[in-house]
Structure 1
Amino acid sequence: MPNRRIIVDLSDRMLYLLEDNIVLRGYPVGIGRMVTQTPVGEFTIVNKHPNPGGPFGVFWMGLSKPHYGIHGTNDPSSIGHLVSHGCIRMYNTDVLQLASQVTIGTPVTIRP
């Protein structure tokens, strides 16, 4: 698998997929509310689950910080806003595309 990583930029509410430090794609995301902020730091993808049900849309990718992940949403109008309990929400079509391009162990940097 190529040298891929994910950067989530909370200030512009975007998730970027990089390969060898070149941005392949940017995706708009919804992030944590003021009281349940998305954690900042270095993480990895530790699991991947299609069709997790509930508010998690069509795909879940768990992060190495327990209870946090990158996932789809059943509320597409929430993308681009401070809406979650700390997770990173994506449009369902985007999360499926991203999930097909990364593996368990992919590094994820979340920056303010």
Structure 2
Amino acid sequence: MPKYRIIVDLSDRQLYLLDGNIVIRAFPVGIGKMLTRTPTGVYTIINKQANPGGPFGAFWMGLSKPHYGIHGTNDPSSIGREVSLGCIRMYNSDVLQLKDLVPVHTVVTIRE
């Protein structure tokens, strides 16, 4: 059984899915803007919700830092940019792939 973990690299705006220490997938992401930066640190996925509504696209994965998550978007042009209120945005097709691979309690490291 693979032991997946996620690294979000804010400097290159990529989310990496790792199996152990091997990157097996990379996805482009949108991150927090200057006034609402994405918080760095080590968190875990605490919940998952399909079709959360609003700007959250097709899927939401909440992090152990309250009010922050990894989610889809209804604005695909925002991917790769500093535009969010601190959450990590993904293309809907990418977040749907990721949610099938990572269970609740997956560790998410967000770094500069």
For residue 45 of structure 1, what is the aligned residue in structure 2? 45
Q: How many residues align?
A: 112
CA displacement at 1:57 relative to structure 2: 0.1
**C-alpha deviation, 1:20, in angstroms:** 1.2
Match of 1:5 in 2: 5
* SS in structure 2 at match of 1:96: helix
Return the alpha-carbon distance in structure 2 between the equivalents of residues 73 and 43 of structure 1. Answer: 21
In the other structure, the counterpart of 1:101 is: 101
- Structure 1 letter corresponding to 2:94: D
In the TM superposition, 1:14-25 aligns within 5 A as 14-25=14-25
Distance 1:20 1:77 in 2: 32
Give 5+ residue unaligned stretches, structure 1.
Answer: none
Name the structure 2 match of 1:92. Answer: 92
TM-score of the pair, normalised by structure 2: 0.99
Q: Within the alignment, does 1:31 sit opposite 2:31 as a pair? A: yes
CA distance in 2, matches of 1:109, 1:60: 17
4+ aligned runs moved over 3 Å, structure 1: none
Q: Quote the sequence identity (%).
A: 73
Match of 2:64 in 1: 64
Letter of the 1:106 counterpart: T
Partners of 1:21 and 1:46 lie apart in 2 by 22
Question: C-alpha root-mean-square deviation of aligned residues, in Å?
Answer: 0.5
Match of 1:79 in 2: 79
Provide the TM-score with structure 1 as the length reference: 0.99
Q: Which amino acid aligns with 1:100?
A: D
